[in-house]
A and B are shown apart, each in its own frame.
Chain A
């Protein structure tokens, strides 16, 4: 495809997004809660779109399509397991929202630090998130590099996509914090969904004459792709290793769980979660069908990551459609990265800096948070430059690391006996085991790092909590308040 067309479409996309980001500044107040949480006043529709765009990244259209291409229908089960994990948001959403309003929490790490009465818990949570989210952000940047390179036939080098996505994420997060992120996310979520459906329908009807013809070709040409373990990639141990962190994604990933603080009411949260699961189901099916379609049309690709660029480069796909989809994928990546940047910067300022200097003013905290945004982006960009491994495997490695915060989060809401030491050691030991197993590529008994890391993490949390003193007074007050309020709101 002609690279001048690609650049022209990107310029229009950047101009539109930047205009929206500036418009979102209207009526913006001052302070940390305003900047990082839009003052907890986001409506249901906007919240649903920003939640969707933040959760679904370039991984879906590039990585999941690649997973399907390589491993078949197991990719569908893998991603739908994540979606079913939204049931956790039904349990945790009202809890995060209620205590967020009562105690003024800005980040999930702050919530844990206060509940366990230890600034160290907040600091360690922040460090774990920084360590594991940077590869995840880098994956998004790499996705854009591959996409632009693939679509332009190599005319646009990998690093151009990388730098472009980094700059956009910085600017759109910087302009008005969560307000600009939420509005640009919404625009991008709509583009992502509409364009991906359009391409799918176009491919299915133009190349296969409809869904019936498509499934017949898939069943006759690639039957192994329709069962598990299928071609071999999705054996049961791999499936468990991949889905375990994915199931807990909505509470383990702080850029997503921080969204639980922002709805203006319980109805807004209901619309946010309800809207998201519908969006997610459609988007998952479409991404998987992209992977299957590419398998049938171009079965011998050298790398599964190239499935999407190859699909968009098919001769019968009109250039204009491929270009719009490219913007959809670019949007998916940027909307995830800017949310990660905003969340990590809020955690850095509130949970690391303010923990060290409790008397620091809100103004200083906010200024520091804003300056951390470009620093984290540059680190992620450098990581992306290294192009380590398969794009989707990297993404899952990040989620496996963040899984180590889950026992502490469960303990905060459901176990009075949980302690700060238990939370800290569970994250440190679980994170260390997961990181070591990923780097060394050792898989004891064939199980993936998330399984072993998760077991060590859970064990450490329970054992260390039982031998240390819990903050019982705080636990009684925190959980007592929640129990009363949850009854009032009729939430489980």
Chain B
């Protein structure tokens, strides 16, 4: 008996033979799978709680900053009008806040023994550190010196008084810091996720029977090795960021992504190379929260999702049966991501930004790509942001 005949006889008998496992075997497998699921649920729960905690912490920080900013806002509707002729301009027209007035009052008080009356219209909105330089004795006009024995009072400024008359530096500063819509050109890099995948499929002889000739079967090997190399995705896009408040912004846009992979199929007696190129157009929607905003540097965190539509899949194959075809891609590719990024201001309108991000690609009915092989990916979005 030939060796190959002997092996084939053994193979045929063994392939068709099966012994029933014990009934408890499945229970054991089911228990292990359930434990794995519980572990996954636990990890996801911990992740969710951590994410919520991070968001809460972020908003607490933001909230604190917002209160501080509100405190820093000058009491812009206040002016001191002393008992003097109405034609006399008030000496504190450059007042930036109630603290300034208090200091003036204190200074005046030190000069006079009279207690001035102070009426505030917004007594919680002041902070001493924002007060401008202390009023010196020499700052007082002769008119003030003259009238300092007279009773003084502080009254509300007339609403009709034009705002330009009051030059408030801090208000100007806040205006300059107010966030504006921006348009960004971005490129999304995927460092270090070029990936290889090797799959060895063992075909049974019965599988070959269906589609190969007897000659092919004689020559054929039983396995096919698939060696796939995935290149990092290439992505470019435009992003429009619109501030919702001083701390929050929402961003959307349009991006284009190209995914490329090459598979070397070692099968039968030949090696076939199959190249796949996928083209996607995507619509991201991200919410950003400002973490830190300096003169030059800005840090922020964000999270959101992207939906992408496959435009086309091009497949090229060499070998005995060469192929070059372009197929439509049905369905949508969803992904979710989170980032903590920063922007460096290059000028009044331009900024260079870098957003390292973690993106998870949900498995859908999309063609196989690096996103299905490696659903969680680290990405780096780099771009130029222009503020209007």
Partners in one complex: no
Which positions in A face B, CB cutoff 8 Å? Answer: none
Which positions in B face A, CB cutoff 8 Å? Answer: none
